[in-house]
């Protein structure tokens, strides 16, 4: 199992995503670990298989709910699949547990900008965003430590 994980890491460094994914899947057959699930999720994202990336990252987080790398990977999988509110929720959790982490803060800033853009499209043009989980009522649901996106107003 560990040899397959190492081989997968080597393929990933060479940007051979499919080969890396195959090695990670093989390593997971031997033993399911949070790190192996995170690696699989990352390769799935590189291959644009976002539903599988989310599934793998969620499984990893279930095994290690306080793992910052898994939270970041899950948030990015959600973001890439268009589930910005879910990405935001995971990042709020990460920032609550790791308030000084620059990667979580940077990713949250990106998510807030994307949400601001989506909200502005609705407010200015009446366009409906093309995101699977976007919900107008969701706009007021930012966690206390993260706060709402800048310049955001409610429609109601």
Question: What are the 10-residue block averages of pLDDT along the chain, 156 residues in total?
Answer: 93 95 94 96 96 97 95 96 93 95 94 84 60 40 44 34
Q: How high is the pLDDT of residue 118?
A: 78
Residues 6+ apart with CB under 8 A from 116: 149, 150, 151, 152
Instruction: State pTM to two decimals.
Output: 0.78
User: Phi and psi dihedrals of 82, rounded to 5?
Assistant: 95, 5
The Cα angle at residue 153 between residues 151 and 156, in degrees rounded to 5: 180
* Residue 66 DSSP class: T
Q: How high is the pLDDT of residue 138?
A: 40
Q: How high is the pLDDT of residue 38?
A: 97
* Dmax (CA) of the chain: 56
Give dist(CA 60, CA 78) in Å, integer. 14
Q: How high is the pLDDT of residue 117?
A: 82
Residues 6+ apart with CB under 8 A from 98: 68, 104
Q: How high is the pLDDT of residue 125?
A: 62
């Amino acid at each position: 199992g560990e040899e397959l994980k190492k081989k997968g890491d080597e393929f990933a460094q060479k940007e051979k995503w499919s080969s890396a994914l195959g090695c990670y899947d093989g390593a997971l057959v031997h033993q399911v670990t949070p790190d192996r699930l995170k690696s699989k999720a990352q390769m799935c994202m590189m291959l644009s298989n976002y539903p599988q990336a989310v599934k793998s990252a969620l499984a990893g987080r279930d095994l290690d709910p306080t793992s910052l790398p898994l939270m970041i990977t899950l948030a990015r999988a959600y973001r890439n699949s268009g589930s910005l509110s879910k990405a935001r929720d995971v990042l709020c959790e990460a920032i609550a547990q790791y308030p000084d982490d620059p990667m979580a803060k940077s990713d949250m800033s990106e998510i807030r900008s994307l949400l601001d853009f989506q909200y502005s499209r609705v407010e200015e043009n009446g366009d409906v965003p093309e995101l699977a989980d976007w919900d107008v009522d969701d706009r007021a649901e930012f966690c206390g430590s993260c706060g709402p996106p800048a310049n955001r107003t409610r429609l109601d």
